Structure 1
Amino acid sequence: MLGWAIVFFIIAIVAAVFGFGGIAGAATGIAQFLFFLFVVLLVISLIAGALRGKAPRA
């Protein structure tokens, strides 16, 4: 899914270069939403891993 955020970001950049404001805005919004969703999921995953208390394997 992180790949989708990157794809929408690239679409937003290309659309902005060509002057398609509506498409660029929509793609930027989707990319931002996906990015923050992944940040939240990362934090939840780190907290859950810390609370589980298992040491990582070496």
Structure 2
Amino acid sequence: KNFKESIIFASHDHEFIQTLANHIIVLSKNGVIDRIDETYDEFLENEEVQAKVKELWSQ
């Protein structure tokens, strides 16, 4: 529980992501990277962040 290193993973399992992730990294099709310091549920519910993600993917 006190793991001090980083793990990068991809998953379609909502519960797994919510349990493990404390930061979300978004990669766009153009290689733009954005780091969001929220849980996965907060990330999904944050309308401002979702608008930014949509903008990154529409460029």
TM-score, scaled relative to structure 2: 0.30
Structure (1/2) with the larger helix percentage: 1
Specify the structure having the higher radius of gyration (Cα): 1
TM-score, scaled relative to structure 1: 0.31
Structure (1/2) with the larger strand percentage: 2
